[in-house]
A and B are shown apart, each in its own frame.
Chain A
Amino acid sequence: KNEVEQSPQNLTAQEGEFITINCSYSVGISALHWLQQHPGGGIVSLFMLSSGKKKHGRLIATINIQEKHSSLHITASHPRDSAVYICAVRAMEYGNKLVFGAGTILRVKS
């Protein structure tokens, strides 16, 4: 069983739609990261969360520590948001190393 599970695995949306990507984890964590990976490999860190909610532009990330769950929301989605979104947790039982989910492939159609 993976310590970090993401859903959905694949998501296709129309431009302008509100998008939610979910992440559940089964280990104790000190922080949770949302990352964006574009074709070709480059990974960019979007958010680091240890509690509550963060917002940056059209992106919102929330975390519920008790339920071991986080969500990434994209408002007014745009084709340039098309990428793989990866949830990663800093897992305390693994010496605070990052443990990654498999990613959610998002495609936004115009």
Chain B
Amino acid sequence: DTGVSQDPRHKITKRGQNVTFRCDPISEHNRLYWYRQTLGQGPEFLTYFQNEAQLEKSRLLSDRFSAERPKGSFSTLEIQRTEQGDSAMYLCASSLVPGTGGADTQYFGPGTRLTVL
């Protein structure tokens, strides 16, 4: 078990460019979460999937953000027309569905640090 992995670990881009991040969850986990964390703050919820279904999106997630989990395994988060305010650490986490006999613990990936110049 390699845990939750994210790629890339760092991304530097120019304002206006599109970027895509990938998250590979723990294989048997059916829930996958995306969070954003800015310097000095705790993570903020962006969206989550149960299997391939995107069940909820935060109001923080503008129309420039889109996330997919096409086969219920890995997920991608795309940011279109990046802005300097998008600079942050983007964290992915996975878990089993709470209450189905699985633990209510989210396992976090190492994050992708995005810098928009």
Contacts and interface: CB of A to CB of B under 8 A. Distances in A.
A100 B43 contact: yes
A44 interface: yes
A41 B89 contact: yes
A19 interface: no
Chain B: interface size category: 20 to 34
Given A31-B104, A90-B104, A102 B110 contact: no
Contacts of A96: 98
Interface residues of A, number: 23
Contacts of B109: 42
Given A31-B104, A33-B105, A98-B45, 14 more contacts: A40-B111, A41-B37, A41-B89, A41-B110, A42-B110, A43-B43, A43-B93, A44-B108, A45-B105, A86-B43, A95-B56, A97-B45, A100-B43, A102-B40
Interface of B: 37, 40-45, 48, 56, 89, 91, 93, 98, 103-111, 113
